Amino acid sequence: MSAKPIALVTGGAGFIGSHMVDLLVERGYAVRVIDNLIGGREANLSAHKASGDVTFDSRDIRQLDAPDSLFENVKHVFHFAGIGDIVPSMEHPVEYMSANVQGTVHVLEAARAAGVEKVVYAASSSCYGMAKTPTDEAHPIDPQYPYALSKYLGEQSAFHWFQAYGLPVNSIRIFNAYGTRSRTSGAYGAVFGVFLRQKLAGKPFTVVGDGTQSRDFLYASDVAAAFLLAAETTHTGQVYNLGAGNPQSVNRLIELLGGEVIYIPKRPGEPDCTWANISRISNELGWRQKVPFEDGVKRILDNIEYWRNAPLWEPDSIAKATRTWFDMLSDRDARANG
């Protein structure tokens, strides 16, 4: 009996990373996970660890060496590790550049030293800025805040390692992933985590703007499926946009979650609509969405207790958490307008 192929998932105890681990185990891979557990939970991997399908390393990716034994005999690397909170990046740009750019370089070097067959980088659609929609991969790059810049520079590093060293790399620019196991602690962030905790507390949902803004939400298991296709394809050196190709308004999300609403000011630097043109990933990789938005929201509601201990965000605390964002981006817009 032949040995299982080995995959390595950075950030594999986190939100999307743990769904990636699920899929890899299901497809017959032995999986190695590296995660410093700042944003992830080792409990997300407990069943797999007990079965022996997954081994775990708690280092920060910036501690990786080249060569590094963690990468020995690894076939595919799925790189999700990094800092994902958007709003705090305005106050802590150095940490974002360190984790998301230099951390990526450490992963790339370790993968190169080990002769890995394919690295798939988790990029962000935020690199497009205030984009025209639907957004294709040729859209101009215009990062609006340090998180977006750091993820784009990480992607550029990955492609430089492809061009300069021949390391096989593909990149997927994720639009708006959602699902179970999303982050429940730390900074003010993704809409689902904020709303679910508010629902549990019987508080009104804090809707930014008027709620007509829309996001191209895609369930995490569908994201993982795209990453596996990008690893197993013969295509190399490619970037793919990934969303459902079917934006949903925040107001529609509120309808599905059910609850009262309070409106808070719209933030500068954020688009009214995100909408991925998914023609390339559909045509080249044969990827298709499997979890409709309504089904995905139901799955989350069925697991809502997961968010019981998450921070409860209300208008005053949100205003405090986003003050620097408003000040800096408003000043930037004023400078741009003369």
Distance CA(338)–CA(336), nearest Å, equals: 5
Residue 36 identity: N
Residue 50 buriedness (CB in 10 A; 0-12 / 13-18 / 19+): exposed
Which 3 state secondary structure label does DSSP give 336?
A: helix
The single residue of 147, 152, 188, 219 carrying the catalytic annotation is: 147
- What stretch of H or E contains 263? strand 261-264
Distance CA(255)–CA(247), nearest Å, equals: 15
Catalytic residue list contains 29: no
Ramachandran class of 82: left when φ > 0, alpha when ψ lies in -120 to 50, beta otherwise: left
Q: Which are the contacts of 182, defined by CB distance < 8 A and separation ≥ 6? A: 15, 190, 192, 193, 220
Distance CA(101)–CA(123), nearest Å, equals: 11
CB 210 within 8 A of CB 263: yes
Q: Which residue numbers are catalytic?
A: 147
